Amino acid sequence: MFNIEEIRQKARKWLTDEFNEATRLEVQEMLEGDENKLIDAFYQDLEFGTGGLRGIMGAGTNRMNIYTLGMATQGLANYLKKNFRDRVIRVAIAHDCRNNSRYFAETAADIFSANGFEVLLFESLRPTPELSFAIRHYKCQSGVVITASHNPPEYNGYKAYWDDGGQVVPPHDKGIIEEVRKIKSVKEIRFNADRSKIKILGKETDELFLDEILKLRLSPDIIDKHASMGIVYTPIHGTGVRLVPEALRKFGFRNIINVPEQDVVDGNFPTVKSPNPEERDALNMAIEKAISTGAELVMATDPDADRVGIAVKTPDGKYELLNGNQTAAFLMYYTLSRYKEKGLLKGNEYVIKTIVTSDLLDRIAEAFGVECFNVLTGFKYFAELIRKMEGTRKYIGGGEESYGYLPGDYVRDKDAIGSCAMIAETAAWAKEKGMTLYEMLIDIYCRYGLYLEKLVNIIRKGKEGADEIKTMMHNYRNHPPNEINNSRVIRIDDYEKLLSLDTRTGKTRNLELVRSDVLQFFLEDGSKISVRPSGTEPKIKFYLSVRTNLASPSEFNEKTQLLNKRIENIINNLNLR
């Protein structure tokens, strides 16, 4: 439990001259006003989770501001100095469309330059995957992107990258946190920039990035035949506004339809409730545009353009949203099919998915004789595995249920720019075979099994909410259910203990991943329930997966209804309302 007087003492330190006037006024108002607001702002320090540093903007140790960002940046700088001794350290910096993103990016650039680093700062907003590309291309030791992905407008964030272009992983993440914690005063942050060390990156880097994406193309002749296929694209006010259409045009597509109101770069995201391509509301305007134009495919990217949501035309002319598992499945099926057709499968290829992503991807890879590796949630683990395999095996694609995909190894983070191009190419390939993407997905289900997934988020905000989430995980871990929805739990994988328990025999085996607060329950009927607290948001996530066989497309609707009913029963049984 927290001590309110300790929190007040912590807050009063932010009233000194080391902090700017606006910050001091905001802290004073909290001290004199809403105690809950004060607690939320100061009860903890922002730390790196699966997505780095992320929080609501404002004054306080638990808020995104130039001081918490400054401590993170100074801590990262100190850690880089220890790891790259006796050499010039180079870092790249990018930012998205959010309020204060440019200010935060320039602040980080100032701090890095004051520490003697060479800094490559993008001239204006750029997609997160381009930051990963820049780190690799310009041989940087690290990089930072200012973004809060799809979070509401009041949020911003800070993601740190290592020299391979991937987000920091153990032990580096913990090492950075240790360095940040050593900083006891903002006086230790070097804010005085050396502008001679800051170089601006522009369109020349964009072209290099797009040229790498073009190398992904597997079916230029088929694209040429279907170049007029209607594609609606929206950046939802974010960074994909220029590069996604350019990538599509480079691939050969000519009928790209935009949503003018959402091409406006705006950190308030005025046309949507949330800039999250997982949610239908975010795609409503794009779908309306597709209806009016007869387009066959709708794509929307999140503010930093590392994730993409899509809607596809169904046989009855409606537009169906596909989830991240479905998009990852048809991307993998298409890529492996084309590799096989072109004689490119040499036996050393592999794909990657996360442990909470549909097992359908494992089945597809298995059918093509390609190994599918399962990693923890977060593309930093994709990057880590690709780095380990570099030079011995070939990575050809992968994705996760949360709408992130990486169709090649040109970057080491999820990339909506390359993914949009490959999704469109897959749609053209399906069209060449007389199918829509929707029909192609059903065909995949007939081949490998019908899988249906649902994500249930239980939101618990603030300090009390964080404690409640910890209690929920403790109870699931120490008092696991024997059955769920009248189906016996036959296996429990605990990634905190790194043990897999076969409940039928009592035997255990080790799990070969890093420790993480994740539990998975495998049921006798083939269902799988995964539980994990979010690393970037105040919520606990339940990933529900069910499956059955599908003999023919005519059974699809009936079998889908049965699986939806099973999911609803699991939700009721676990009291997830």
Domains of the chain in sequence order: 44-201 (3.40.120.10), 219-448 (3.40.120.10), 450-573 (3.30.310)
* Geometric angle at alpha carbon 305, from 301 and 306, rounded to 5°: 105
Condensed to tens digits (0 to 9), the pLDDT of residues 78-132 reads 999 999 998 999 999 999 999 999 999 999 999 999 999 999 999 999 999 999 9
Tell me the average pLDDT across 365-393. Answer: 96
Report field, pTM of the whole predicted structure over 0.75: yes
Cα angle for residues 31, 36, 42 (degrees, 5° grid): 65
User: How many other C-beta atoms can be found within 10 angstroms of the C-beta atom of residue 543?
Assistant: 24
pLDDT, averaged across the chain: 95
Q: What proportion of the chain, given as a percentage, has pLDDT over 70?
A: 98
Mean pLDDT of 158-176: 92
pLDDT value at position 48?
65
pLDDT of residue 493 exceeding 60, the answer is yes
What confidence score (pLDDT) does residue 34 get? Answer: 83
CA torsion sign for 420, 423, 427, 433 is: positive
Nearby residues of 414 by Cβ (< 8 Å), 6 or more positions away: 129, 306, 307, 379, 382, 399, 400, 404, 405, 406
Residue 303, pLDDT score: 96
Q: Each residue of 205-251: pLDDT tens digit?
A: 999 999 999 999 999 999 999 999 999 999 999 999 999 999 999 99
Nearest to 494, CA basis, from 518, 523, 470: 518
| pLDDT at residue 462, rounded to an integer | 80
CA dihedral sign, ordered 541, 333, 513, 129: negative
205 contacts 134 by C-beta, under 8 angstroms: yes
Cβ(198)–Cβ(115) under 8 Å? no
Is 28 a residue whose pLDDT tops 60?
Answer: yes
| Selected catalytic residue, list 113, 149, 358, 545 | 149
Instruction: Tell me whether residue 395 is exposed, middle or buried, using C-beta atoms within 10 angstroms of its C-beta: 0 to 12, 13 to 18, 19 or more.
Output: buried
DSSP 168: P
CA distance 35 to 4: 9
Q: Do residues 28 and 12 lie in contact, with contact meaning Cβ atoms separated by under 8 Å?
A: no
pLDDT at 536 over 70: no
- Give the helix, strand, coil percentages of the chain, each rounded to 5: 40, 20, 35
Q: Report phi then psi at 252, rounded to 5.
A: 125, 0
| Cα→Cα distances 528→212, 454, 480, 489, 550, Å | 37, 11, 14, 9, 19
Q: What is the DSSP letter of 528?
A: E
CA distance 436 to 295: 12
Nearest Cα neighbor of 89 from 20, 144, 31 is: 144
Determine whether 132 is an active site residue: no
